[in-house]
Amino acid sequence: MKKLVVLTGAGMSAESGISTFRDSNGLWEKYRIEEVASPIAWENDPETVMRFYNLRRKQLFEVHPNEGHKSLVSLEDKFDVQIITQNVDDLHERAGSSNVLHLHGELKKVRSTGYPELIYTLDNWELKIGDTCEKGHQLRPHIVWFGEGVPMMGKAAEIAEQADIFVVIGTSMAVYPAAGLISYVKQDVPKYYIDPKAFHVSGISNLKIISEKAGNGVPRLVNELLKND
Ligand code: OAD
């Protein structure tokens, strides 16, 4: 089976009702990264950081996978599909995708500030000051903040190197190291980039740009790939 690797960003979930970050009206127009998504913010004002992620998590319990997420699942009939997502939502999993690697963490998970290997899945949206791990340490969102390492990057790069087909969906390709993943993909591998503003990449060989929203562009590409391979 050919290995089909999909890299997704916030645009993948936009039609499910989750805001992107850098579009007009995006999250980073309403919040300052250094006040809600950095280790310093957590140190100075953990309540504000928690409130930001609690709002995101609350919303996640109210939204559903869109046609884009759903159509990716059918690729598994013919391909060995690996999704690498920058998204912290669980919409790929809820749509039914089998292999999803989260580069920037997961909104529904929290981890111990004292023992980072202690990771828990929340069954409701709220994390509070005073919520601790079994060893008594405060829990924090299981999110990769700006200024922190990206522990899954090595694995993601390995996967990108093995791709026979590489598909990028709904990302501004503005945040590294995730945006650099495409450079690990072999030159002769066919690459597709679905994004209504897909002008962020240049100098990538064998790249087909599909300037459409994920809800239309992904099912269309999926049909094409299933027909041709
Ligand atoms: P961005 O907000 O930077 O980019 C979203 C992309 O989605 C843009 O290129 C839009 O054109 C595109 N888009 C919008 N609506 C779309 C739709 N319906 N279908 C397809 N594409 C659409 O989000 P990311 O690239 O995901 O990290 O941002 C990368 C990282 O920066 C995030 O994971 C997050 C953020 O800060 C952390 O919080 C660590």
Q: Summarize pLDDT for 148-178 with one digit per residue, the tens.
A: 999 999 999 999 999 999 999 999 998 899 9
How confident is the model at residue 77, as a pLDDT?
Answer: 95
E-assigned strand segments in 61-176: 80-85, 100-102, 105-112, 119-121, 139-143, 165-169
Q: What percent of the chain has pLDDT over 90?
A: 89
Q: Are 74 and 226 in contact (CB under 8 A)?
A: yes
Q: Cα separation of 6 and 194, whole Å?
A: 11
Among 22, 85, 200, say which to mutate for ligand 1: greatest number of ligand atoms within 8 Å of CB: 22
Q: What is the mean pLDDT of residues 43-66?
A: 96
Render pLDDT for 93-152 as a digit per residue (tens, 0 to 9). 999 999 999 999 999 999 999 999 999 999 999 999 999 999 999 999 999 999 999 999
pLDDT at 217 over 80: yes
- Predicted TM-score of the model (pTM): 0.97
Render pLDDT for 41-50 as a digit per residue (tens, 0 to 9). 999 999 999 9
Q: Cα separation of 182 and 204, whole Å?
A: 8
Nearest to 186 by CA among 201, 169, 207, 216: 207
How confident is the model at residue 198, as a pLDDT?
Answer: 82
The binding-site residues of ligand 1, defined as CB within 6 angstroms of any ligand atom, are 9-11, 14-15, 20-23, 26, 37, 86, 104, 144, 170-172, 174-175, 195-197, 213-214
How confident is the model at residue 25, as a pLDDT?
Answer: 86
Q: How far is CA 174 from CA 3, 5, 55, 135, 179, in A?
A: 25, 19, 24, 38, 6
173 C-alpha to ligand 1 centroid (Å): 8
Radius of gyration of the chain (CA): 18
Q: What percent of the chain has pLDDT over 70?
A: 99
Q: Are 196 and 169 in contact (CB under 8 A)?
A: no
Question: What positions carry a catalytic annotation?
Answer: 104
How confident is the model at residue 127, as a pLDDT?
Answer: 97
pLDDT at 200 over 80: no
How confident is the model at residue 202, as a pLDDT?
Answer: 76
Ligand 1, atom 15: nearest CA belongs to which residue? 11
How confident is the model at residue 224, as a pLDDT?
Answer: 97
pLDDT at 199 over 90: no
How confident is the model at residue 91, as a pLDDT?
Answer: 98
